[in-house]
């Protein structure tokens, strides 16, 4: 029997740390973590998230270890709606990253909270 994408994401989230954008941005101020946007570059053109590091979901496993070399460094993942970020976070944990959080809201909300934090 097949599993739907919604079920796959829900099952993955059960084992992941998930936060809303406001909580994640406040926590980032304390942890010095890195926000990773797993959307494709074309998506960034129409809806940028300027304080995020873009590593598209399709190449995440191939690139992340060159960029984030500390397995315990706080990582906060987001995408357009939270689905790809959830699946990406699951993969990062499989790679050995121990401090991975999914921001589970639309990218527009993430951007709004990034802008709010930057203006403080």
What's the CA gap between 54 and 78, in Å, rounded? 10
Is residue 86 a contact partner of residue 103, using CB atoms and an 8 Å limit?
Answer: no
Compute CA distances 97 → 50, 76, 120, whole Å: 24, 12, 31
Report pLDDT digits (tens) over 89-106: 999 999 999 999 999 988
Which domains, from first to last, does the chain contain? 5-118 (3.40.250.10)
This prediction's pTM: 0.91
* The pLDDT value given to residue 120: 66
Burial class (CB in 10 A: 0-12, 13-18, 19+), 37: buried
Query: How large is the average pLDDT for residues 72-87?
Result: 95
Tallying the residues shown for the chain, one arrives at 120
- Which of the two residues, 116 and 2, has the higher pLDDT score? 2
Closest CA to 48 of 87, 89, 80: 80
């Amino acid at each position: 029997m097949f599993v739907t994408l919604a079920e796959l994401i829900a099952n993955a989230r059960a084992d992941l740390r998930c936060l809303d954008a406001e909580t994640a941005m406040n926590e980032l101020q304390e942890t010095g973590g890195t926000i990773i946007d797993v959307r494709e570059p074309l998506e960034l053109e129409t809806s940028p998230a300027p304080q995020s590091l873009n590593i598209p979901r399709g190449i995440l496993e191939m690139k992340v270890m060159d960029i984030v070399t500390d397995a315990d460094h706080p990582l906060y993942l987001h995408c357009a709606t939270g689905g790809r970020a959830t699946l990406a976070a699951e993969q990062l944990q499989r790679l050995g990253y121990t401090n991975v959080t999914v921001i589970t809201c639309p990218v527009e909300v993430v951007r709004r909270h990034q802008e709010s934090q930057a203006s403080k």
